[in-house]
Amino acid sequence: MRRWISGAVLAYVLYGLFIYLYIFQSGDSSVPDSVKGTPADPATFMTGRELILSEEYSKIRNFLFFIKIPFDWLVFFILLVAGFSKKIKSVLERATRFSYLRIAGYVFVLSVIVALCSLPLDWISYQIALNYDISAQSTGSWIKDQVIDFWISFPLMTLVTIVFYALLKKSEKRWWLYAWLITVPFTLFLFFLQPVVIDPLYNDFYPLKDQELKADILALADEAKIPADQVYEVNMSEKTNTLNAYVTGLGNNKRIVLWDTTLKELDKPEILFIMAHEMGHYVMKHVYYGLGGYLLMSLLGLYFIDKIYRWLASRYRTMLNIEGKHDLAALPLLLAIVAILSFLSSPLNNTVSRFMERQADQYAIELTEDKEAGIKTFQELSIAGLSQTNPPALVKFFRYGHPTIMERIQSLDNYKKGEDRE
C-alpha cells in the first residue's frame, strides 16, 4: 500500500514539475513577428503593466488548472488503496440496512473529503484572482458559492450513484446503455431548469434596465429574424471584474444574458457586437448541436467507462480493497475513470467549441458590419480578464473553448464586406 501511494504521489509531483516548467519556462506565448504592430498585438492596446500582469496571472491560473485536475484522481486513488473507502462502506453497513441510505451516506462522506482536500487549491485560486483584481467577490460570498456547489452536486451525485448500482445489478452488460437512455431526458431537464432555478442561486437576474439599449438589441434580433422580447442582465460585478455575455437554456426558458460589468465597461457598438455574436449561436442552433454532441459523447463515454471499470475492478480488486464492480467502495474508482476520460476528451470538445465560436464571430461581423467594434470588444475582454492573447499550445489544446484573442482579432481585422461565410 505504501509503495503504491508513494508512487502515485511521486508521479503527481513529477507531473506538476513538468507542467511548471512548460508553463513558466518553455511554453511559447510570444507574439509572432507577422502580428506585431497589428490590432492583435497586445502591445498596441495594453499598457506595459497590463502586459506583465496578463502574463503573470495567465501562467499562474493555467498552472493551477493543470495541477488541480489530477489532484482529485490522486485523492480517489489514495482512498481506495489505503482502504479508507472500504472502511467508510463498512461503517455505513453497520449503521443502516437500507441500501439507499448507505449510498447517500457514502456519497456525502466522499463529497466532504474531496471538497476539503480541494479547498486549499480553490482558496489559492480565489486569493490570486483577488490579488490581480480579477475577482471582486467577498470571502463570505465565495464561501456561500462553495456551499451552494456542494448542496447541488451532492444530491445529484447521490441520485446518479443509486441509479448506477441499480442498473448494474439489473444488467451487468447493458447498464451503460440504459444509463444513457436515462441521461437524455435528465440532461434536457437540467438544460431547461438551469436559467430559472440553478443560475439564480448564485446571482440576481433581471430584465435589462437600459431601455434604449434594449430596443437596439431587439432591433438587431429582429434583423436576425430571432423571436425575442427580453434581454437579461446579471449582477456579476459583485464577484468579478471580467466581462461576458451568454445564451443559456432551452425553449421558453432560453435567456440572453449580459453581465453588468460588460454594460459598464463597453460602449453600445461593442455591446451590440457581443449580442450579435450570441444571436449567431441561436441562429446556427449551436445550443442544440452542442447538446446533441454532448449526448453522443456521453454514450461513447459510458461504453468505455463500462469496459475500463469492469477490467480494473476485476484485475486490481485486492490492491484497491474492493470486492468487485458492484461494491459501493469502488465508487472512487468509477469517479476517477469518469474524470480522466472527461479530461482526455476535452481537446475534442474544445475544437468543436472553437469552430462554433468562429462561426458566431463571423455572423456578428456580418450582422453589424462593424469590425472596429468587434476588435475593440476583444481587446477589452483581454484587458479585463488579463488573458494571454496567444497562449501556449498545450494550454489552448486543453483549456480554450474559444479561439485565442489574437486569432479572433486577426479574423475581424482581415474581414472584408461581401466575403462568403466560412
**pTM for this structure?**
0.91
Instruction: Assess contact for 276 and 371: CB atoms under 8 A.
Output: no
Higher pLDDT, 315 or 418: 315
Mean pLDDT across 242-271: 85
Q: Annotated binding residue at 402?
A: no
Which ranges of 284-330 would DSSP assign to H, the alpha helix?
A: 286-315, 317-320
Q: Which residue has the cell 449526448?
A: 295
The confidence score (pLDDT) of residue 420 equals 45
Domains annotated on the chain, with CATH: 2-202+286-413 (no CATH), 205-283 (3.30.2010.10)
8 A C-beta contact, residue 388 and residue 403: no
pLDDT value, residue 422: 41
Calpha distance 412→397 (Å, rounded): 22
Q: How far apart are alpha carbons 202 and 185 in whole angstroms? A: 25
68-72, 172-176, 247-251 — which is least confidently predicted? 247-251
What is d(CA 369, CA 273) in angstroms, rounded to the nearest whole number?
9
pLDDT single digits (tens) 349-367: 999 999 999 999 999 999 9
Local structure of 239: helix, strand or coil: coil
- Cell digits of residue 73: 484522481
Q: Do residues 196 and 220 lie in contact, with contact meaning Cβ atoms separated by under 8 Å?
A: no
| Tens-digit pLDDT profile for residues 50-79 | 999 999 999 999 999 999 999 999 999 999
The string of pLDDT tens digits covering residues 191-206 is 777 788 888 889 899 8
Give pLDDT, residue 77. 97
User: Which residue bears the cell 437596439?
Assistant: 216
Which stretches within 82-224 are classed as H helix? 84-95, 99-131, 139-170, 175-193, 211-223
Give, rounded to a whole angstrom, the gap between the first and last alpha carbons of the chain.
56
Higher pLDDT, 194 or 300: 300
Residue 90: count other Cβ atoms within 10 Å of its Cβ: 12
**pLDDT for residue 161:** 96
Give the type of residue at 86. Answer: K
Contacts of 307 (CB under 8 A, 6+ apart): none
Residue predicted with more confidence, 251 or 143:
143
Q: How far is CA 214 from CA 210, 211, 252, 374, in A?
A: 6, 5, 19, 19
DSSP string, 203-234: S-EEE-S-HHHHHHHHHHHHHTT------EEE
How far is the CA of 76 from the CAs of 17, 64, 69, 80, 109, in angstroms?
21, 19, 12, 6, 13
AA identity, residue 295: L
Please state the rounded mean pLDDT for residues 250-269: 85
CA separation, residue 319 to residues 12, 86, 113 (Å): 19, 12, 21
Cell of 256: 440572453
Mean residue pLDDT of the chain comes to: 92
Q: What pLDDT score was predicted for residue 394?
A: 95
DSSP labels for 369-391? --HHHHHHHHHHHHHHHT--SS-
- Percent of the chain, pLDDT > 90? 80
For residue 101, pLDDT over 70 is answered with yes
326 is in an annotated binding site: no
DSSP 135: B
pLDDT(418) > 60: no
The residue-averaged pLDDT of 289-302 equals: 93
Q: Which of 11-25, 71-85, 250-264, 321-335 has the lowest mean pLDDT?
A: 250-264
Residue 403, C-alpha cell as written in the block = 479561439
Catalytic sites, residue numbers: 278, 361
Rounded alpha-carbon distances, angstroms, from residue 123 to 22, 23, 75, 133, 150: 24, 21, 18, 15, 15
277 is in an annotated binding site: yes
